[in-house]
């Protein structure tokens, strides 16, 4: 009996020990050693060989790479780094998911050279069904990228897409269930009045996971196989901080954190203030982390009071940047008067306006008789996906960050503007003088036949033609019809995720292919707004605008149904998707088409409609590669309206945003012209407009391209597939046009009408059919046109003399109007 009892106790304690040390048992647990023919043990886990895992992968071409052991240095000695898989074309892993919910995705990269593949030069994107994890990504050293996503379907598809003329690679991959309780739905935002909700659907990327005051905690000592790194390298001032360690003191207790939140080895060490025995010392201990601009971050603080000798002896403050996230924090009050109980605290930041994020702790001043101290035991910083579901690439700035950016940009631009203004003033004086000198040979007559300003001309036109369209606005679809068309919003039919919501492909009863945009359900007020937008949208019919077929507002839904565009986005044809690259004439024709669409938005209606988010991802191509502008649904009509809506969020995408718009927060058509100028350079160079992986001076395409354009050496940076294929004159005209679009002041930018002309001209220069070609030094066609205009009474004669290929395609904008604009913009 005794013996049996003893055995029982022994078995129980072994069981407890086993439970405790193995911790969480993941239901989904895929570990793959890519490119390897053997199973590889890493700690207590086995990464299976690529052969055994091949059923998960679909790739057009099998390239397995292995490296001789000697090329692996001691610091990068993971056995997973000895082999890799290379993807020359878009390839995907499909993992069946047994239990929906949050999963880790860990990607292991270790670049080495295999045959003709130098993996340190690889550039590629990685995405899941709902989120972009990496785009135009490259690595030059061993690197582990950790993401966590909430999988809401029965499979997780991870797609690797090489950037144009590059390839992708991967050394190992993990897809592992995360305990449900690890990330909860809400957290306080750093702005104290807000409570952030929606963390459950958020994709997260681990930016930092730090063990304060202690050594690296390796994945083998973490129940969820996480690695925690020491904080030394993040400390801003090492002198103000010291280590403290007492791992044995840590007591997990209900109401506090669990070992899954963070292990004892993390809670049992801390970095504390080093007051140097001065009872009056008062300073912060600060850590600084590199982050990406425009994203929100989830910051998780880990606390455990292992330093105090008794209760209520430590009061301190916690900050993220200059925001206070906890004031006079007394850890001993968080659990029923027990010291050394682990606790954690989540905070969501506002979208970042700087590429540094600082976390600080400092002593409380408000509590008398307490020795100044402050501690932090652990810290995790996780990047949150932006409103388009991406953890990478173009970023959307929301109104809340507008002010800060405004100030920073404002100050920088302010100085710049003063200089620019001075230069303009100088140039204008010079020009006046020159014009006065030339006065005898050149009379500057306004050509606006209709007279008045552009708005009155525009409204005359639209009253005449648009009325009939306006009266039959939109078709209202029953919700069931939309369900039917999209196979009940089949996740596999999702073709895109936009600011508005998801986009599904679909087919109507009669076989018409459609793109269905489903907005997140909104309040009554949102619906009213939605209806106004539809009314506006449905009035726009143009060959170069993606047209609205109908809408559905049943059940608080906000669904827009558009014509389907076979060839997807212009962006996908430029880079990142492996599609064949476009020729120069095709690109010019696409730019011309898009310019026509924008021109119509700006001038085809009584009030100019400003697109606000012109970018290559919003220019779609039909089956004949004809360009159509999309997503003008969120446009607001011209300046008049915008002034009454001062609170309107700054909308647009990083890299395309008009600097003047930031500064004055006033929207004009010229903001679209700026963005379109960036698109022009993007088309020419076939690279992302912001690429943080490039050397600093190359990150921003607009800046980089302008630098070469100003040097007159634009040909140095063009898409390699275009080298030797663009006629120098055509390239020069194109470069000059893009340059003018990027002028710092809106007034100095051409109208889209002017841009259109210049692009047509660049196309003709490529064809080189122009007879008696005028001298090509001028930066604007007006220089060549004006004399001719003055010599003929009929404007159209001058136009046909120039063989403008589709003058009538300006959609009713009379040529005289275009000319009057040209003349006006030049006459300023």
Ligand X SMILES: *[C@@H]1O[C@H](CO)[C@@H](O)[C@H](O)[C@H]1NC(C)=O
Residue nearest to ligand X as judged by C-beta position: 101
Query: Are 348 and 384 in contact, with CB atoms under 8 Å apart?
Result: yes
> What is the smallest separation between the CB atom of 82 and ligand X, expressed in angstroms?
15
Identified binder of ligand X from the candidate list 94, 155, 232, 581, rule CB under 6 A:
232
Identified binder of ligand X from the candidate list 242, 522, 727, 824, rule CB under 6 A:
242
333 Cβ partners below 8 Å, 6+ apart?
312
> What is the smallest separation between the CB atom of 682 and ligand X, expressed in angstroms?
24
Catalytic pick among 50, 222, 305, 613: 613
Q: Does residue 214 bind ligand X (CB under 6 A)? A: yes
Q: What torsion, rounded to 10 degrees, do the Cα atoms 70, 71, 75, 79 define?
A: -80
Nearer to ligand X, 17 or 421 (CB): 17
Identified binder of ligand X from the candidate list 135, 284, 466, 700, rule CB under 6 A:
284
Segment (H or E) for 784: helix 782-791
Q: Does residue 202 bind ligand X (CB under 6 A)? A: yes
> What is the smallest separation between the CB atom of 363 and ligand X, expressed in angstroms?
8
Task: Select the span of 281-289, 462-470, 570-578, 803-811 touching ligand X (CB under 6 A).
Answer: 281-289
> What is the smallest separation between the CB atom of 39 and ligand X, expressed in angstroms?
4
- Could you give the 3-state DSSP secondary structure of residue 392? coil
Segment (H or E) for 821: helix 815-827
Nearer to ligand X, 161 or 349 (CB): 349
Q: Does residue 283 bind ligand X (CB under 6 A)? A: yes
> What is the smallest separation between the CB atom of 252 and ligand X, expressed in angstroms?
15
Number of CB atoms found within 10 A of residue 26's CB: 19
- CA dist 88 and 490 (Å) reads 29
Binding residues among 180-199 for ligand X as defined by CB under 6 A: 180
Backbone torsions φ then ψ of 115, nearest 5 degrees: 50, -125
739 Cβ partners below 8 Å, 6+ apart?
677, 706, 709, 710, 779
Nearer to ligand X, 286 or 790 (CB): 286
> What is the smallest separation between the CB atom of 392 and ligand X, expressed in angstroms?
13
- CA dist 326 and 191 (Å) reads 12
Alpha-helical regions (H) of 475-607: 479-485, 524-537, 570-574, 584-603
Q: Does residue 39 bind ligand X (CB under 6 A)? A: yes
Compute CA 444 distance to the chain's CA centroid, rounded to the nearest angstrom. Answer: 47
Query: Residue for token digits 């090489």?
Result: 162
Number of CB atoms found within 10 A of residue 653's CB: 26
93 Cβ partners below 8 Å, 6+ apart?
56, 57, 157, 158, 173
> What is the smallest separation between the CB atom of 763 and ligand X, expressed in angstroms?
40
Task: Select the span of 218-226, 417-425, 622-630, 820-828 touching ligand X (CB under 6 A).
Answer: 218-226
Identified binder of ligand X from the candidate list 90, 150, 373, 780, rule CB under 6 A:
150
Q: Does residue 99 bind ligand X (CB under 6 A)? A: no
Q: Take residue 51 and report the two structure tokens written for it.
A: 């052969």
Q: Take residue 234 and report the two structure tokens written for it.
A: 């993040």
Task: Select the span of 48-56, 366-374, 601-609, 629-637 touching ligand X (CB under 6 A).
Answer: 48-56
Q: Does residue 633 bind ligand X (CB under 6 A)? A: no
Is 505 a known ligand-binding residue?
Answer: no
Nearer to ligand X, 201 or 581 (CB): 201
Nearer to ligand X, 374 or 684 (CB): 374
Query: Are 770 and 730 in contact, with CB atoms under 8 Å apart?
Result: no
Task: Select the span of 386-394, 428-436, 700-708, 781-789 touching ligand X (CB under 6 A).
Answer: 386-394
Q: Does residue 282 bind ligand X (CB under 6 A)? A: yes
Q: Does residue 221 bind ligand X (CB under 6 A)? A: yes
Q: Does residue 49 bind ligand X (CB under 6 A)? A: yes
> What is the smallest separation between the CB atom of 724 and ligand X, expressed in angstroms?
43
- CA dist 601 and 752 (Å) reads 10
Q: Following DSSP, what letter does each residue of 634-688 receive, concatenated?
A: G-EE-HHHHHH-TT----SBTTT--HHHHHH----HHHHHHHHHHHHHHHHH-S-
> What is the smallest separation between the CB atom of 189 and ligand X, expressed in angstroms?
11
Q: Does the annotation mark 188 as catalytic?
A: no
Binding residues among 254-273 for ligand X as defined by CB under 6 A: 265
Query: Are 533 and 594 in contact, with CB atoms under 8 Å apart?
Result: no
Identified binder of ligand X from the candidate list 319, 551, 562, 600, rule CB under 6 A:
319
Q: Does residue 386 bind ligand X (CB under 6 A)? A: yes
Binding residues among 321-380 for ligand X as defined by CB under 6 A: 322, 360, 362
Q: Does residue 82 bind ligand X (CB under 6 A)? A: no
- CA dist 132 and 112 (Å) reads 25
Number of CB atoms found within 10 A of residue 2's CB: 6
| Distances in whole angstroms, Cα of residue 551 to Cα of each of 486, 515, 530, 546 | 14, 11, 10, 14
Q: Does residue 707 bind ligand X (CB under 6 A)? A: no
Q: Does residue 556 bind ligand X (CB under 6 A)? A: no
Q: Following DSSP, what letter does each residue of 270-322 receive, concatenated?
A: EEEE--TT-TT----EEEEEE--TT--EEEEEEE---S-SSTT---EEEEETT
Identified binder of ligand X from the candidate list 26, 162, 230, 240, rule CB under 6 A:
230
**DSSP-assigned beta bridge partners for residue 329:** 316
Q: Does residue 281 bind ligand X (CB under 6 A)? A: no
Nearer to ligand X, 234 or 540 (CB): 234
Task: Select the span of 76-84, 214-222, 566-574, 759-767 touching ligand X (CB under 6 A).
Answer: 214-222
Q: Is 61 exposed, middle or buried (0-12, 13-18, 19+ CB in 10 A)?
A: exposed
54 — alpha (psi -120 to 50), left (phi > 0) or beta? Answer: alpha
Q: Does residue 280 bind ligand X (CB under 6 A)? A: no
Q: Does residue 223 bind ligand X (CB under 6 A)? A: no
Q: Does residue 152 bind ligand X (CB under 6 A)? A: yes
Residues that bind ligand X (CB under 6 A): 38-39, 48-49, 52, 101-102, 130-131, 150, 152, 180, 200-202, 213-215, 218, 220-221, 230, 232, 242-243, 265, 282-284, 296, 319, 322, 360, 362, 384-387, 389
The catalytic site residues sit at 613
Q: Which residues are annotated as a binding site for ATP?
A: 517
């Amino acid at each position: 009996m005794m013996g049996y009892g003893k055995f029982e106790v022994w078995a129980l304690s072994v069981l407890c020990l086993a439970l405790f040390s193995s911790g969480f048992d993941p239901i989904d647990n895929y570990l793959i050693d890519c490119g390897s023919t053997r199973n590889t043990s890493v700690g207590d886990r086995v990464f299976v060989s690529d052969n055994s895992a091949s059923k998960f992968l679909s790739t057009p071409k099998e390239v397995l790479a292995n490296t001789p052991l000697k090329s692996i240095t001691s610091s990068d000695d993971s056995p997973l780094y000895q082999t890799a898989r290379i993807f020359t074309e878009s390839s995907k892993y499909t993992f069946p998911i047994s239990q929906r919910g949050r999963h880790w995705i860990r990607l292991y990269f270790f670049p080495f050279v295999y045959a003709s593949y130098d993996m340190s030069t690889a550039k590629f994107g990685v995405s899941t069904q709902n989120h972009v994890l990496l785009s135009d990504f490259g690595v030059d050293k061993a690197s582990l990228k950790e993401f966590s996503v909430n999988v809401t379907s029965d499979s997780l598809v991870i797609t690797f897409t090489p950037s144009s003329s590059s390839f992708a690679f991967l050394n190992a991959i993990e897809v592992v269930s995360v305990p449900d309780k690890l990330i909860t739905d809400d957290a306080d935002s750093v702005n104290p009045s807000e409570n952030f909700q929606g963390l459950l659907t958020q994709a997260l990327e681990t930016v930092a996971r730090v063990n304060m005051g202690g050594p690296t905690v390796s994945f083998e000592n973490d129940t969820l196989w996480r690695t925690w790194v020491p904080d030394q390298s993040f400390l801003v001032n090492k002198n103000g901080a010291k280590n403290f360690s007492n791992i044995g003191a840590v007591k997990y207790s209900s109401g506090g954190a669990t070992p899954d939140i963070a292990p004892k080895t993390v809670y049992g060490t801390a970095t504390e203030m080093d007051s140097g025995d001065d009872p009056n010392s008062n300073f912060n201990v600060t850590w600084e982390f590199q982050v990406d601009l425009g994203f929100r971050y989830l910051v998780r603080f880990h606390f455990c009071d292992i330093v105090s000798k008794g209760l209520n002896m430590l009061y301190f403050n916690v900050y993220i940047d200059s925001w206070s996230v906890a004031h006079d924090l007394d850890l001993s009050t968080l659990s029923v008067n027990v010291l050394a109980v682990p606790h954690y605290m989540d905070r969501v930041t506002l979208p970042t306006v700087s590429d540094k994020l600082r976390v600080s702790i400092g002593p409380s001043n408000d509590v008398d008789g307490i020795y100044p101290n402050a501690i932090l035991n652990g810290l995790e910083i996780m990047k949150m996906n932006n409103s388009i579901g991406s953890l990478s690439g173009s970023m959307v700035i929301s109104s809340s960050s507008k002010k800060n950016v405004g100030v920073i940009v404002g100050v920088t631009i302010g100085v710049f503007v003063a200089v620019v203004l001075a230069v303009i003033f100088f140039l204008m004086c010079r020009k006046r003088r020159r014009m006065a000198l030339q006065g005898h040979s050149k009379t500057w007559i306004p050509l606006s036949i209709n007279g008045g300003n552009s708005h009155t001309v525009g409204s005359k036109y639209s009253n005449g033609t648009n009325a009939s369209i306006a009266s039959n606005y939109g078709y209202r679809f029953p919700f069931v019809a939309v369900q039917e068309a999209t196979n009940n919003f089949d996740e596999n039919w999702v073709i895109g995720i936009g600011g508005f919501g998801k986009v599904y492909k679909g087919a109507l009863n009669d076989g018409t292919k459609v793109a269905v945009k489903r907005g997140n359900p909104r309040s009554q007020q949102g619906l009213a707004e939605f209806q106004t937008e539809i009314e506006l949208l449905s009035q726009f019919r143009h060959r170069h605008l993606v047209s609205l077929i109908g809408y559905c507002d049943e059940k608080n839904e906000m669904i827009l149904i558009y014509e389907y565009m076979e060839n997807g986005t212009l962006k996908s044809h430029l880079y990142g998707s492996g599609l064949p690259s476009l020729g120069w004439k095709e690109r010019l024709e696409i730019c011309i088409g898009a310019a026509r669409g924008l021109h119509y938005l700006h001038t085809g209606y009584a009030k100019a409609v400003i697109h606000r988010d012109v970018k290559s991802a919003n220019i779609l191509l039909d089956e004949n590669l004809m360009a159509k502008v999309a997503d003008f649904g969120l446009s607001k009509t011209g300046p008049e309206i915008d002034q009454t809506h001062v609170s309107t969020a700054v909308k647009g995408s990083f890299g395309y945003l008009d600097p003047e718009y930031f500064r004055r927060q006033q929207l004009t058509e010229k903001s679209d012209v700026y963005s379109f100028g960036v698109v022009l350079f993007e088309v020419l160079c076939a690279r992302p407009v912001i690429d943080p992986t490039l050397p600093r001076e190359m990150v921003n395409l607009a800046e980089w391209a302008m630098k070469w354009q100003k040097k007159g050496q634009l040909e140095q940076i063009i898409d390699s597939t275009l080298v030797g294929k663009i006629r120098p004159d055509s390239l020069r005209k194109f470069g000059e046009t893009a340059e003018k679009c990027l002028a710092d002041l809106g007034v100095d930018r051409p109208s889209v009408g002017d841009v259109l002309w210049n692009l047509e001209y660049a196309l003709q220069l490529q064809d080189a059919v122009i007879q008696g070609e005028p001298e090509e030094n001028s930066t604007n066609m007006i220089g060549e046109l004006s004399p001719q205009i003055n010599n003929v009474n009929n404007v159209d004669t001058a136009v046909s003399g120039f063989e403008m290929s589709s003058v009538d395609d300006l959609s009713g904008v009379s040529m005289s109007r275009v000319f009057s604009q040209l003349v006006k913009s030049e006459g300023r």
